[in-house]
Structures are given as structure tokens and as C-alpha cells.
Amino acid sequence: MKDSPILIIGKNGKTGLRVEQRLQALGYATRGVSRSTSAAFDWEDQGSWPAAMAGIRSAYVTFHPDLASPTAEQTIRDFVALAAELGLEHLVLLSGRGEDGARRAEVGLQQGGLDWTIVRSSWFMQNFSENFMIEGILNGELSECVAAISEATGYPVQYAQIPIEDFIDALRGQCAPESLLWLMHELFTVVFDGRNSKPTTGVEEALGRPATDFSEYLRKVMATGAWDRSGMQQQA
């Protein structure tokens, strides 16, 4: 399929960025899209989909806000139907482990009649350094794993346990959208209930090497400066 570009939905996301870079390094042409690209792709605007998908045979698909969210299954079904109509042959869908909503969206892909691959990932460590949790780390307060992060960064990061409803209320007070409130509630009451605590052998089976462990991840993030608070301290 090197004759047509591979579509990457979520070009600047945690995995989309890396998938695009690695495909390009292997000599594949890519078309990375999201709401901010010039051929824009917005999951909430189906009118934006056909132009982004024109001339494409295969795609790496990351959904937003989360494949477990209530709208995901139908949206993925609509997306797969359009992909079939436009002549796409193979879709790779990023999914989440232990999430019923994500599983329903996966079935939507599997029933769509195209070749498919599902990458069913657990919680990304990069949420601590590239996502909404970086703010909690920089402010010195967050959830589990903080002892290891605190040791690596050299500044105190505390685990403050608060009732989930207080956390949701605080987010609501910051005008967070309802979809994010739903996602945070689902995350802390379902995804983090222990069902995903044991690593699987999937990474090793797929890549022929063990998954990166948390200490290696810490070492890599420290090298990027993502948790460097020197700028914040100067402003204080």
C-alpha cells in the first residue's frame, strides 16, 4: 500500500505522532489529520471526514475523547461505513483495555467488512507527561506512581485521595466539558478498579521486546524536560 498515503487520525496525539514518524522513517507516505490540520478531521463533524479520507487505502484511527465514551460506538460505525464507501481496505483502531464502551466500538469496526487491526492498550504512562495529568505533576500533586516521579524529579509530588464527586465538581468549576467529566468518572470508577493492574504479554508478542517499564519511562521523560519546574518557580 506504499502507493497511497496512510491516514493518521490524531496526528498530534500521543500515539498518532509516533506512528506517523515511524511510518515515514520506513518510507511510507502519510496524511496526518486532526481538527487543526489543513485537511481537518473532526470526530464531531462528519462533514469533515470525506475530504480527509479521499485517496486513502489504510488508516490508523485514534478516537476522541475516548473510545469508551457513549457516542463512540455509533461514530465508529458511521466512520467504517464511509471508509468502505470510499474504498479503504484496512483500518487500525486504537482501543482501551477493560472498557465495555471501547469493546462495543471495536465490534462496530469488526462488523464493518474491512480488514481490521485492534490495538487494545492499557493506560499510557505518557498521560503523566503529555496529557491532562502533567498539570497535576507540575503542581506537585496527583495520584499513584507519584513516589517514583517525585524521586526522579527531585521535588515533592503528593498523592491526595479525594472523593470522586469532589474531583468532578472541581473540574466542573473549571468549566471542563461534560464529555471530560464523564470520562474522568469512568476512568476513576471503572478503568482503575483493578481490572487492568496486571500487565499482559501483548507488547512482547507484537514487538518481540518487553514493554517499557515505569522506571525507563521516567528516565526518558526526565531527558525531555517535560517535568522541569524551573520556569514556574521563577514566575512565583
When asked if residue 62 is in the footprint of ligand NAP (CB under 6 A), the reply is yes
Number of residues that bind ligand NAP (CB under 6 A): 27
Name the residue nearer to ligand NAP (CB basis): 34 or 58. 34
In the list 5, 7, 10, 32, the residue contacting ligand NAP (rule: CB under 6 A) is 10
Q: Which stretch binds ligand NAP (CB under 6 A): 40-48, 73-81, 164-172, 225-233?
A: 40-48
Scored b (16 or more CB within 10 A) or e, 194-226 reads eebeeeeeeeeeeeeeebeeeeebbeebbeeeb
Separation of first and last alpha carbons in the chain: 53
When asked if residue 127 is in the footprint of ligand NAP (CB under 6 A), the reply is yes
Question: Which three cell numbers, joined as nine digits, stand for 80?
Answer: 467504517
Name the residue nearer to ligand NAP (CB basis): 3 or 53. 53
Give least dist CB 111 to ligand NAP, A. Answer: 19
In the list 44, 115, 144, 204, the residue contacting ligand NAP (rule: CB under 6 A) is 44
Between CA 68 and CA 96 the distance in angstroms is: 8
When asked if residue 64 is in the footprint of ligand NAP (CB under 6 A), the reply is yes
When asked if residue 129 is in the footprint of ligand NAP (CB under 6 A), the reply is no
Q: Nearest 5 degrees, angle CA 18-CA 68-CA 185?
A: 105
When asked if residue 101 is in the footprint of ligand NAP (CB under 6 A), the reply is no
List beta partners, residue 90: 58, 115
Residue 31, classed as helix, strand or coil, is strand
Residue located via cell numbers 526522579 = 152
Of all residues in the shown chain, the one whose CB is closest to ligand NAP is 13
CB atoms within 10 A of CB 233: 9
Give least dist CB 14 to ligand NAP, A. Answer: 4
Residue 167, classed as helix, strand or coil, is helix
When asked if residue 49 is in the footprint of ligand NAP (CB under 6 A), the reply is no
* Dihedral sign for Cα atoms in the order 6, 9, 11, 17: negative
Written as one letter, the residue type at 67 is: L
In the list 30, 41, 52, 56, the residue contacting ligand NAP (rule: CB under 6 A) is 41
Footprint (CB under 6 A) of ligand NAP, residues 66-95: 66-68, 94
Give least dist CB 236 to ligand NAP, A. Answer: 29
Q: Quick check: 142 and 162 in contact, CB under 8 A? A: no
| Interface positions with ligand NAP (CB under 6 A) | 10, 12-16, 34-36, 41-44, 62-64, 66-68, 94, 96, 102, 121, 123-124, 127, 131
